[in-house]
Amino acid sequence: MPVAYATVEHMLFDNASLEPGEWILVHAGGSGIGSIAIRIAKALGCIVITTVGSADKAAKARELGADHVINYREDRFEGVVRKLTARRGVDVVFEHTGADTWAGSLLSLKRGGRLVTCGATSGPSGSINLMQLFQQQYRIIGSFGAPLSALERALHRIASGVRPVIDTVFALEDFRAGLARLENRDVFGKLLVDL
């Protein structure tokens, strides 16, 4: 909880300054932080678009409250985002996948939009068109860890009912099975190990 939930709090509020009613694109909606970001943004009253890699994860993301779900294996997410927003783009992109989604994430932003990033699971290097950056007045924000204030807000948010998504609880002796699920990307939310 301190790592995933507080990280999302820090990204969305301390860094991206997410406001009620804004459009947000949450990448990897089935991941631990992606699923939490969907729940928090919906609780705030935002319009949530998320990306996932399977029909099963798409259904689960809709159950969490995502307004629009894009299977990135079937569609170019940036094109769908532009269509959904009538070419305006989203206010905020919640980016943590890295190189594979970087360029499309920038194309998904509205003029003056904010991209907040905390990860690079698909690779640490992405290119940027500097003219696009300054002409569109993008704000790109790096986010690392979380202050204690974000942890405190996360605990209050959980107590108010915005809970993290738990996929499966494994016994310690089944730890390797949990790791295999992670490696195969066959997880929606978090896996827990019962000690």
Measured CA distances, 39 to 75, 103, 134, 141, 161 (Å): 24, 25, 32, 21, 10
Predicted confidence band at 2 (pLDDT cuts at 50, 70, 90)? confident
pLDDT score recorded for residue 47 = 98
pLDDT at 13 > cutoff 80: yes
pLDDT tens per residue, range 149-177: 999 999 999 999 998 899 999 999 999 99
Residues 31-76: tens digit of each pLDDT:
999 999 999 999 999 999 999 999 999 999 999 999 999 999 999 9
Helix (H, G, I), strand (E, B) or coil at 93: strand
CA distance 25 to 170: 31
Q: Which residues contact 178 (CB under 8 A, 6 or more apart)?
A: 168, 170, 191, 193
pLDDT at 9 over 80: yes
The token pair that represents 152 in the structure block: 């405190």
Residue 103 has, within 13 A of its CA and on its CB side, a CA count of 7
Q: What is the pLDDT of residue 164?
A: 87
One-letter amino acid of 158 = I
Q: Which tokens sit at 75?
A: 């569609």
Per DSSP bridges, beta strands 166-171 and 139-142 are: unpaired
For residue 140, the cross-strand partners are 115
**pLDDT at residue 1, as a whole number:** 76
Beta bridge mates, 26: 50, 94
Q: Residue type for 163, please?
A: R
Spatial separation of the C-alpha atoms in residues 119 and 112, rounded to whole Å? 22
Check residue 4 and give its pLDDT: 87
| Each residue's pLDDT tens digit, 78-87 | 999 999 999 9
Residue 3 CA, chain-centre distance (Å), reads 14
Cα(155)–Cα(144) distance, integer angstroms: 19
The 10s digit of each residue's pLDDT in 88-121 is 999 999 999 999 999 999 999 999 999 999 999 8
**What domains sit in the chain, N to C, each tagged with a CATH number?**
4-163 (3.90.180.10), 165-195 (no CATH)
Contact 104, 76 (CB under 8 A): yes
Q: Is the pTM above the cut of 0.75? A: yes
Closest CA to 36 of 132, 23, 28, 111: 28
Tokens, residue 143: 């986010």
**Taking 90 as the threshold, does the pLDDT of residue 142 lie above it?**
yes
